[in-house]
Amino acid sequence: MLLSFYVHIPYCIKRCGYCDFNTYTPSELQDGATLEIVSNDYIDAVLLELKSAPTDPVPTIFFGGGTPSLLPANDLGRVIAAIKERNTVTDDCEITLEANPDSVTAEKLSAYLAAGFNRISFGMQSAQPHVLAVLDRTHNPENVKRSVDMARAAGFGSISVDLIYGTPGESLEDWRATVTEALSLDIDHISAYALIVETGTKLAAQIKRGDLNMPNDDLMADMYLLVDQICNDGGLDWYELSNWAKPGHECRHNIAYWKSANWWGLGPGAHSHIDQKRFWNVKHPTAYKQKLFASESPIADSENLTDEQLRDESIMLAIRMRSGLSLDLLSSTAQERVLQYQSSGHLNHIDGKLQLTAQGRLIADRLVREALG
């Protein structure tokens, strides 16, 4: 068996208006504290949690957040070194760092590479200043190209950018300009996600007050089809609903999630999946550290998945991927329902597998319901 690791870095300089991730600014944790003060013993806690994980070889490690690139390379490198020593890693182990374009320098990028990272994902989100302002993003859009070029010069073999579409006030031409700008960069991978407005965020409050208006469904569909077309024209093929890559540059860590492989999430709020068990840690960094330093488990709760739940999840995840959904996973009645979407141009049936067309990806949730019903 193989075991992937996700390492959560729960710190940001500033909270973005749309974000409801499990992240914290220094002021939210400790008045007047610097990031170095609140995070200085965090890696120690992560290494203590690591001792509880299985010792299977590791094919992928992903540092997410938060903003992992705020922490020094030697701190993150301690985790990589411990995993390599304890578990060993595969020869082609993919080790990814999420980064804010404003938080890296040429020196830091070289240090991250020396620490063991070989893939980096920059949070670009948009190339339009007015869109970034609505999202409450702090980075300068001009720094994205600078950061990508520095990462390539440092020696990163795989570089990705994350984009968000459907921001209030964003037009189709705004989105076209953003995707075109992203494809002009020296990158190998794009993730493009529709904006989801989460309750309790600053953005949700602005929309509720009527200060901002969400785009309609037709515009959202046009935005998705546009990014798919531009990526295909630029040599990046879709391999999952929201992800496009040059051949050989697919994110293998995320594929492990989508194929329900085993992974262990290190850090507060991190989720893990081992065989038929799913569990997750306490959310707050302070509680997480306190438990580990007191030799207690940081796990908040868990659930055991039934065979039926695993089957349903495998259907739900496989239908999102270009590799497709095996028809034999479906009941005969579900097969009949889903295959009707062939004639409407929403899916292809190739060698016993169902693969969504671009139009089919727009109604993926409906097709999942048909497959599971």
**One domain, residues 242 and 322:** no
pLDDT of residue 17: 53
Report the Cα 21 to chain-centroid distance in Å. 11
Q: Is residue 212 part of a domain?
A: yes
pLDDT of residue 160: 98
pLDDT of residue 34: 55
Contact 348, 319 (CB under 8 A): no
In degrees rounded to 5, what are phi and psi of residue 30?
A: -165, 120
Q: Is residue 269 part of a domain?
A: no
pLDDT of residue 275: 94
Side-chain half-sphere of 332: how many Cα atoms within 13 Å? 0
Q: What is the CA radius of gyration of the chain?
A: 21
Contact 197, 203 (CB under 8 A): yes
CATH of residue 319's domain is: 1.10.10
Q: Is residue 187 part of a domain?
A: yes
Q: What is the pLDDT of residues 285-338, one digit of tens each?
A: 989 999 999 999 999 999 999 999 999 999 999 999 999 999 999 999 999 999
**Chain length of the chain:** 373
pLDDT of residue 213: 67
Domain boundary among 220, 235, 258: 258
**One domain, residues 235 and 157:** yes
Instruction: Please state whether the predicted TM-score (pTM) of the whole model is above 0.85.
Output: yes
Q: Is residue 294 part of a domain?
A: no
| Helix 172-184 × helix 217-233 angle, to 10° | 20
Q: Is residue 254 part of a domain?
A: yes
pLDDT of residue 210: 64
CATH of residue 142's domain is: 3.20.20.70
Nearest to 286 by CA among 68, 28, 34, 65: 28
Longest dimension (CA), the chain: 62
Element (H or E) spanning 111, and its range? helix 106-115
**One domain, residues 246 and 337:** no
Side-chain half-sphere of 191: how many Cα atoms within 13 Å? 17
Domain boundary among 234, 258, 282: 258
Domain boundary among 236, 258, 280: 258
Range of the domain at 91: 4-258
**One domain, residues 243 and 313:** no
Contact 150, 109 (CB under 8 A): yes
Sequential pLDDT tens for the chain (373 residues)? 999 999 999 987 765 555 556 676 666 666 445 566 556 689 999 999 999 999 999 999 999 988 899 899 999 999 999 999 999 999 999 999 999 998 899 999 999 999 999 999 999 999 999 888 888 776 678 899 999 999 999 999 999 999 999 988 899 999 999 999 999 999 999 999 988 765 666 665 676 676 666 778 899 999 999 999 999 999 999 999 999 999 999 999 999 999 999 999 999 999 999 999 999 999 999 899 999 999 999 999 999 999 999 999 999 999 999 999 999 999 999 999 999 999 999 999 988 899 999 999 999 999 999 999 7
Strand locations in the chain, DSSP E? 4-9, 58-65, 89-99, 119-125, 158-165, 189-194, 237-240, 243-245, 263-266, 271-274, 277-281, 299-304, 325-326, 347-350, 353-356
Q: Is residue 281 part of a domain?
A: no
For β-strands 263-266 and 4-9, DSSP reports them as parallel
Q: Is residue 55 part of a domain?
A: yes
CA dist list (Å): 319 to 42, 237, 249, 347? 38, 16, 21, 10
Gap between the Cα atoms of 351 and 87, Å rounded = 38
Q: How many domains does the chain have?
A: 2
Q: What angle do CA 28, 32, 38 make, to 5 degrees?
A: 65
**One domain, residues 229 and 123:** yes
Q: Is residue 284 part of a domain?
A: no
**One domain, residues 140 and 32:** yes
pLDDT of residue 133: 86
Contact 208, 260 (CB under 8 A): no
Residues paired with residue 63 on neighbouring β-strands, in sequence order: 7, 97
Query: Which residue type, as a one-letter code, is found at position 81?
Result: A
